[in-house]
Amino acid sequence: QTLTAEFLGKKITLVDNNGIAYVAMREIVEGIGLAWKPQYKKLTEQWDKFNCYHMTTIQLWSYDHNSTVDISP
């Protein structure tokens, strides 16, 4: 189930999985004014440190195809 919340004045998308809300990290990273590519590299190199996961989405948000999203609770 997808949910929305406000983060620094912008709407972000959350995905509920068994009562735990996961947020798409790209929306957070870009929302605080950081470039996604360098932050993505940090996240992928240190998954355990940031408690971050890959999740395959099926036409969530405005995607017209399946995509992989990096999420964190």
Whole-model pTM over 0.75? no
Q: What CA–CA distances, in Å, run from 67 to 13, 25, 58, 59?
A: 15, 14, 7, 8
The per-residue pLDDT for 65 is: 47
Structure token pair of residue 6: 């406000």
2-45, pLDDT tens digit by residue? 788 898 998 888 888 788 888 888 888 888 999 988 988 888 88
Instruction: Report which residue type is found at 8.
Output: L
User: CA 29 → CA 1, 18, 23, 65, distances in Å?
Assistant: 22, 25, 11, 23
Specify the pLDDT at position 38. Answer: 92
Answer with the residue of higher pLDDT: 40 or 65.
40
